A and B are shown apart, each in its own frame.
Chain A
Amino acid sequence: MADIDNSILAVRKLDVKFHTDDGQVHAVKGIDLDVRAGETVAIVGESGSGKSQTMMAIMGLLASNGRVSGTARYRDTELIGMPERRLNTIRGAKITMIFQEPMTSLDPLYKIGRQMAEPLMYHKGMSAREARPRVMELLKLVGIPDPERRINSYPHELSGGQRQRVMIAMALANDPDILIADEPTTALDVTIQAQILALLAELQQKLGMAIVFITHDLTIVRRFADRIYVMRRGEVVEDGATEELFVDPQHDYTKMLLAAEPTGTKLPPPPSAPVLLQGTDVQVSFKIGGGFLSGPPVLLQAVDRISVALRKGQTIGIVGESGSGKSTLGRALLRLLPSEGRIRFENRDLSKADREEMRPLRKELQLVFQDPFGSLSPRMTVGQVITEGLLVHEPSLSTKERDRRAIEALKEVGLDAASRNRYPHEFSGGQRQRVAIARAMILKPKVVVLDEPTSALDRSVQKQIVELLRKLQADHDLSYLFISHDLTVVRAMADYIIVMKQGKIVEEGQTADIFDNPRHSYTQTLMAAAVDTTKFRLAG
């Protein structure tokens, strides 16, 4: 690749290796990369592609077992191998960075005003008092409401979106040349995500710094980036101007990423399909606080009088942002949480069933969780994990028969029969989610609650899981309650959608109706935010 004119950050043959107990991990394999003044460059890749480590290496933030070689020139200064003391004059001043985890990237023990002042104090030699007007100005710039009060807030008193705004404000404090944004919106709700992207675009127009945007989601950078680097397994497989790359992708991997969005729709079940699971006026409330000498507890209404009817073969998508009560509703319908109101499964009233009565029904009502890392016991083999339910529900099965069922279930979710003797940590996120699905499927359930089953996965893996779930549904005539904040996935999975906000249903209807003609203002905001980031699709 020829040198790009007026590049302010020129990375050549950058190589990052990590020495681990299991041998060497080659995270970045000699990549070249340029950032020009004032432009937006996106580095796109799935987890493990080395996109974050590239920037960490440039910033001198690699873990202690990381080794880096190659060069990274910022204007006329070589950053790689620079002593920490000198590097500290550049990072936080000329090059700044915001991170994926707004919840934990600020020090919980200090007020945000104090933390935002620090880059000014140590780069500009200001005192905390002198820095205060600038901090106030920055808070206003990033649109934090009521900055006079917020300057004295601790991070835990702010929402995720607000914390990310604070991070951005801190990054802008010293008028940087380059702002590195490492998945800045991934941990945020979709409406907040759109706001943060809009803010970054606006600030760039106003202040003119270059932005390096690291993301796994190719679609969200289309409007935003001037140029894109696509990374895979430590290498840049393709790079070019954004439009060219979207219209005429050269590399198969780029094409795959562009096509990785789950597509298709689900037809509603025939009207004659019987209602399997029905909740009427379901309510769940949590007590917060209260106790000896500290006054009465506050009652939080997590699910507020919600009625749902799930038919055989139907998929109901429950959509809402974090804290909307969608997961709580899913759990209440399976009687995993105490609730008020009536819940019927087939012809039985579950609302009054006790533990003993529920046990045989558990087999029919299964649940798959979001986190494929936390929901599988690390000390059991995959075979043990998926057959555990059989021990409870079909205790008469012989060991041989159980093993046969395990193989069958694994094959059904597209895993090798031999994988039943391995442990969860040996599998990737997508494979683990397949194991979690196999664990539910082995019991031959009728209703499965899928609680954000694809949210922790890369786009291309998401697509595979969505396809798997659809196939299983068709094969076994399953009914799904599909809980998700991701509208693209819900659109591909569900035939009926419930939109929740603050424990209430704000809108419900057939998927096509909701997407084409959202009536409630909240649904419209949600759609706009999602469409905003995924508006531009490949033509063909």
Chain B
Amino acid sequence: MLLYVLRRFASAVPTLFVIVTIAFFMLRLAPGGPFDLERPIDPLIIENLKRAFNMDKPLPQQYMLYLWNLLHGDLGPSFTRRDFTVNDLFRFGLPVSVQIGGTAIAIALVFGTVLGSLAALRQNSWVDYSVVGVATFGITIPPFVVAPILSLIFGVYFGWLPAGGWGAPGSMVLPVATLALPQMAIVARLTRGATIEVLRSNHIRTARAYGLPSWVVLYVHTLRASILPVVSYLGPTAAALMTGSVVVETIFGIPGIGRYFVQGALGRDYTLVMGTVVVIAVFVVVFNLIVDILYAYLDPRVRYD
């Protein structure tokens, strides 16, 4: 297993290299640049700016330079937030995003599996219909609708929680709820479907035929199998959530890193966009690996060595 993990990390390096390369050149293909402004400015200033950011060198050389710095963990200076390096921006923003995203994933996992299992056990009862109903609601209502409504109700009308901002006690609740709702809905549906299928399988019939108590049939024999599709779903989702959400961060005014991707792309902040791509790619690689290891642990038929 250790060998497998090492091999997976080794194979992640070329993956990241390809991602970085494609992102780097695609970004440069987009028209415009980081120093284009509404008002024309002195070409000499532009010239100086370009020199300061190594933009005066030929593109291949810039690429090599970027790779070299990346190897040393240096994501470069931000082109548009000129007081900060990209590393600084992530150092402040990433913990916030990870905290919100991680909490949302944990909540979605716990409540989603519980609700999904309940619905499956009481299939076609009112419990099932309510869970499926709530889940459909959670999936269909987009976060940019949920977020302002939550903010309005709990922040403005009742004043129980901060309507936005970061740092005040309770300021995490609404953004986490917004992020968790659709994920919880999806997890509930996945769990429900898988549980219904597992409950019909022959080995569950065996467990019941041998007089095992129903909690053993459920927790020992059903849940372990029905959680498998949830685990594979949660890998890439956790990566996506922990690297921040533009909508949630914008609406609640949270200093995470989700905004950087959009803002960086619009402002042609090359290093900021590249930095975001690298961070997301690393998260995806790591979480997929975690999922694969977890999968092998849960299902002994899966063996990687």
* Bound-state Cα–Cα, A15 to B221, Å: 31
In-complex Cβ contact of B207 among A90, A107, A123, A292 (8 A)? A107
* Bound-state Cα–Cα, A154 to B203, Å: 13
Q: How many residues on B have C-beta within 8 angstroms of the other chain's C-beta atoms?
A: 26
* Bound-state Cα–Cα, A99 to B216, Å: 20
Q: Inside 8 A of A108's CB, which chain B residues have their CB? A: 203, 225, 299-301
Q: Inside 8 A of B209's CB, which chain A residues have their CB? A: 59, 61, 91-92, 96-97, 99
In-complex Cβ contact of B211 among A88, A101, A105, A167 (8 A)? A88
* Bound-state Cα–Cα, A64 to B205, Å: 12
Of B203, B207, B209, B225, most buried by chain A (CB within 10 Å of CB) is: B209
In-complex Cβ contact of A105 among B123, B206, B212, B214 (8 A)? B206
- Judge whether A106 is part of the interface by a CB distance below 8 angstroms: yes
Of B123, B208, B225, most buried by chain A (CB within 10 Å of CB) is: B208
Interface positions, chain A 220-259, Cβ under 8 Å from B, are none
- Judge whether B213 is part of the interface by a CB distance below 8 angstroms: yes
The 10 closest A-B pairs by CB, nearest first: A92-B211, A92-B210, A88-B211, A104-B202, A107-B203, A91-B211, A97-B209, A105-B202, A154-B300, A119-B210
Minimum distance in angstroms from B231 CB to a CB of chain A: 13
* Bound-state Cα–Cα, A118 to B202, Å: 16
- Judge whether A418 is part of the interface by a CB distance below 8 angstroms: no
- Judge whether B298 is part of the interface by a CB distance below 8 angstroms: yes
Q: Inside 8 A of B201's CB, which chain A residues have their CB? A: 104
- Judge whether A199 is part of the interface by a CB distance below 8 angstroms: no
Given A107-B221, A154-B301, A156-B301, the answer on whether A118 and B203 have CB atoms closer than 8 Å is no
- Judge whether B224 is part of the interface by a CB distance below 8 angstroms: yes
* Bound-state Cα–Cα, A104 to B203, Å: 6
Residues of A within 8 A of B (CB): 59-61, 64, 84-85, 87-93, 96-97, 99, 101, 104-111, 118-119, 122-123, 154, 156, 167, 170, 292-293
Given A109-B298, A122-B216, A293-B11, the answer on whether A90 and B211 have CB atoms closer than 8 Å is yes
Main secondary structure of the interface of B (DSSP, over half): helix
* Bound-state Cα–Cα, A170 to B216, Å: 17
Let me know if A88 and B298 touch, CB within 8 A. Answer: no
Q: Inside 8 A of A87's CB, which chain B residues have their CB? A: 211
* Bound-state Cα–Cα, A88 to B214, Å: 9
Let me know if B202 and A122 touch, CB within 8 A. Answer: no
Minimum distance in angstroms from A162 CB to a CB of chain B: 16
Let me know if B7 and A109 touch, CB within 8 A. Answer: no
Interface positions, chain B 177-222, Cβ under 8 Å from A, are 201-203, 205-214, 216, 220-221
Let me know if A109 and B300 touch, CB within 8 A. Answer: yes
Minimum distance in angstroms from B128 CB to a CB of chain A: 12
Q: Inside 8 A of B10's CB, which chain A residues have their CB? A: 293
Minimum distance in angstroms from B271 CB to a CB of chain A: 32
Minimum distance in angstroms from A130 CB to a CB of chain B: 17
Q: Inside 8 A of B298's CB, which chain A residues have their CB? A: 109
Q: Inside 8 A of B123's CB, which chain A residues have their CB? A: 64
